[in-house]
Amino acid sequence: MVARTEERLYAGSAGSHSMVRGGVQFVDRLSGLEPARRTAFLVNEAQQTRSENEVPAWINFAAGVVATLVTRTVLIPLDTIKTNLQSTLSTQLRGMSCHARVAYVTRNVVQRHGMLGLWRGLPVSVLGSAPAQAVYMATYEAFKVALRVAEPSGDQVRRSTPRALVRIALAAALADTVASLVRVPPEVVKQQVQTGRFRNASSALCALAKQPLHRGGLYRGFWAQVARDVPFAVALFVVYESLNEIVRQRRIQARSDSRDQQQTPAAATMLNRKPVWTGSVAGTVAALCTMPMDIARTRLMARPYGEYKGVWQAVLQIAREEGLMTLWSGTWLRILYKMPSSTLFLASFDWSRSALLRLQRAFRYGSYKDARHRPP
């Protein structure tokens, strides 16, 4: 706590005071106080330092928007092909190899809508998913703090213990359920446009909005979305946080074994920096675990209302009528999408959040250069 308060006193100085002088002033001030007032002063300084280091919810929200814009724009062609492949009845693709099915679906999309047809639904996808992902990440970070998996400053506590992993899973599940309320309507509209049932997003939105909720409408396939996305989110963040913790502990061990023992802000930033490959591995594992639910959700959203009565009924009906392997149709394509998607999203989120934190602290300390050398 003394070290953090020294840093705060140093940041508030005109820049000519050194860290040593700030520390001496701090100790001299404490020595002149009575024990009761000294305790109150230390508590107040600790609370003020914690408040200054707390990551505001708007930063997590804005970082989620930036990450979504980057990810969706780059990868929506793969999502369009996957959606059309999964919504096409297997009888139309019978006898084709996996690569031939993808080529058939891609050719149909290009023939009907041109090359830009691969980006059909991009505006509604971005406008719909950006708020949902922003809500999701802001809620997830808030739940991590509430469940004591992370500090308000964003600093992570040890996450490799079973109790910490359970709390991470709970935070991911709760956050995804909340975000699904925002995510499902634009996802339904996007898939209706991608599969060609409506010419554009506005006509799809008007038609679906007129349907009552008990007949699907804009929340068609809501529980299928939750049934797929909650396990995906749990698997994604449990694997992601665990891998990052393993990397972090190895960095700590490597630093303790080396001669360089300096605990500078730059070193602390490097210690907590998350490698890109952890997002790729986490996205791949999560995609494999939730493939059948993805098939069921796509059918419920894209096919006419009433063809499937529920998530599990859709899974059983597809397996019975079209074969068990149909539930894994497009697996490699989904992995091909989810692996870079998770990598891009998580890396973009961490980068944009760090940049926004530095900008916020630049306004506070009056120098972007000083803010860059402070742990985000």
Q: Domains in the chain and their CATH numbers?
A: 1-53 (no CATH), 59-76+123-184+217-372 (1.50.40)
Give the model's pLDDT for residue 21.
Answer: 45
3-state helix, strand, coil in the chain (%, to 5): 80, 0, 20
Give the model's pLDDT for residue 120.
Answer: 81
Number of H helices and E strands in the chain, helices first, is 15, 0
Give the model's pLDDT for residue 123.
Answer: 82
Average pLDDT score over the chain: 76
- For residues 53 and 133, the model is more confident at 133
Give the model's pLDDT for residue 17.
Answer: 41
Alpha helical stretches, state H, the chain:
2-12, 19-31, 35-53, 57-87, 98-113, 122-146, 162-194, 201-209, 222-257, 265-272, 277-289, 291-302, 311-322, 331-365, 368-372
SS3 191: helix
Average pLDDT of span 295-305: 73
By residue count, the chain amounts to: 376
Give the model's pLDDT for residue 115.
Answer: 86
pLDDT band at 177; cut points 50, 70, 90: very high
- For residues 339 and 51, the model is more confident at 339
Residue 163 CB-half CA count within 13 A: 5
- For residues 241 and 307, the model is more confident at 241
Give the model's pLDDT for residue 282.
Answer: 94
pLDDT band at 161; cut points 50, 70, 90: confident
Give the model's pLDDT for residue 173.
Answer: 95
